[in-house]
Amino acid sequence: MADEKILLGVLQANGLLPAEASDGWSLELLAGGFWNRVYRLRSRQISNLDWVVKQFAEVPANPMFPILPTAEYAALQFLQGWQCAPTPVAFVTDSPLGSLLVYEYVEGTHWTGDLEATATLLARVHSIPMNAFAMSAFRKLPTDAPKLLMHAEEMLQRHGSALSDSLREWRPKVSVQTAHPIRKGVLVHTDCGPGNVVSSLDGLRLIDWQCPGIGDGLQDVLTFVSPAMQVLYGYPALTLAQEQHFFAVYFSALGECPMDARETSERLRSTRSSHHYRFAAYCAMRAQDTATSDEKTSRLYSVALQAEIQLLHRLLS
């Protein structure tokens, strides 16, 4: 309760809320935030004020999904008007509660399993042309197979264990030269799982843009179809037919010229196993990070790891 009063005070001090009585506001802590505290703020007097206030946590750096408050605000600004993300309201960088991001609440439900709409949404995001603002606001992501595998190895080296060694047996063999490297980067969500897709009256929206970057749109596509990602959010892994349909809808929605589509398809074949291996390395790292402190989370990541290994077995054989 004390933090909630401080939060309202910070918003009022920054001119985002009128200085009315504290009982004029409804502040509801939302479920689903793994690291950060996320509130829904409504007014009993101002009917159209319906916001999300995200209070960013200070936690150890995550090598796969870092918390980047400034980049999240930049992503919402960049995406404004494209009908794919929440509308930003404000960003407070310095407060007693740390960084605060305010954006309009997206009224809707959790992802309902609509693969076609999700693939189309990702294609819309990845079709947005980069500009000078985006090029300076976002980190650059690894896009070729060697760099993806290097990142995977960095995560596996956090634990010198039999689990890490056993996963290395599934490391894809790739050439130093990646086939059909990307010619231009796009904005990538990176944490593109079912839990971050909201089904609203205006269509699907991607939320929680806390770790965006510029890279290959295939990263979002392969993250979404990742068996581990589906398991972590409580969904069954996609079938082969569902995967293939998802890819087909995505490529069609991109509206690419035949040459671009062919190059992207080749890049999918040349980098897919490396993307999934990196995700498996992340699951192995998280399972071991939480083994003594959070047994339930450790078990979940272990199950996700096995699901990802099953896919690697299919891809590599």
Whether residues 196 and 92 fall in one domain: no
- Are 156 and 97 contained in the same domain? no
User: Phi and psi for 68 in degrees, rounded to 5?
Assistant: -125, 80
The per-residue pLDDT string of the chain (317 residues; one tens digit each, 9 = 90 and over) reads 668 889 999 999 999 998 765 668 999 999 866 779 999 999 988 888 999 999 998 888 899 999 999 999 999 999 999 999 999 999 999 899 999 999 999 999 999 999 999 999 999 999 999 999 999 999 999 999 999 999 999 999 999 999 999 999 999 998 655 566 777 899 999 999 999 999 998 999 999 999 999 999 999 999 999 999 999 999 999 999 999 999 999 999 988 666 667 778 888 989 999 999 999 999 999 999 999 999 999 999 999 999 999 999 999 98
In a domain, 115, yes or no: yes
Give me the pLDDT at residue 174, please. Answer: 81
Q: Where are the beta strands (DSSP E) in the chain?
A: 25-29, 37-43, 50-55, 88-92, 100-104, 108-110, 139-140, 186-188, 197-200, 203-206, 213-215
Starting at the edge strand found earlier in the chain, the sheet holding 88-92 runs 25-29, 37-43, 50-55, 100-104, 88-92
CATH code, 205: 3.90.1200.10
Please state, as a whole number, how many other Cβ atoms lie within 10 Å of the Cβ of residue 109.
8
Domain with 45 in it: 2-56+87-105
Residue 186 shares a structural domain with residue 237? yes
- Distances from the Cα of 24 to the Cα of 4, 37, 238, angstroms: 13, 21, 46
Residue 224: both structure tokens together: 């979404």
Listed residues 48, 73, 105: the one ending a domain: 105
Domain presence at residue 164: yes
User: Which of 48, 70, 105 is where one domain is finished?
Assistant: 105
Same-domain status, 177 and 245:
yes
228 in the same domain as 170: yes
Same domain, yes or no, for 192 and 308? yes
Give which of 90, 32, 91, 36 is closest to 58, Cα–Cα. Answer: 36
Whether 80 maps to a domain, the answer reads no
d(CA 63, CA 155): 7
Residues 266 and 146 grouped into a single domain: yes
CB atoms under 10 Å from CB of 19, counted, come to: 9
- Looking at the structure, tell me whether residues 178 and 256 fall in a common domain: yes
**Would 76 be classed as within a structural domain?**
no
Handedness of CA 287, 289, 222, 272 (dihedral sign): negative
* Residue 152 maps to a domain: yes
Give residue 180's pLDDT: 66
Amino acid at 227: P
Place of tokens 């063999």: 173
- Domain end marker among 46, 76, 105: 105
Note whether 216 and 175 are same-domain residues: yes
- 95 and 125 inside one domain: no
Same structural domain for residues 151 and 49?
Answer: no
pLDDT digits (tens, 9 = 90+) for 141-176: 999 999 999 999 999 999 999 999 999 999 999 865
Can you give the pLDDT at residue 178?
A: 58
- pLDDT tens digits for 240-277? 999 999 999 999 998 866 666 777 888 898 999 999 99
Could you tell me the CATH number of the domain that includes residue 43? 3.30.200
Evaluate whether residue 140 is within a structural domain: yes
**Does residue 67 belong to any structural domain of this protein?**
no
At 176 the pLDDT is 56
Number of structural domains found in the chain? 2
Contact 157, 182 (CB under 8 A): no
- In whole angstroms, what is the distance from residue 226 CA to residue 132 CA? 32
Which letter does DSSP use for residue 35 in this model? S
- 161 and 205 inside one domain: yes
Q: Which residues of 164-173 are buried (b: 16+ CB within 10 A; e: fewer)?
A: beebeebbbe
In a domain, 64, yes or no: no
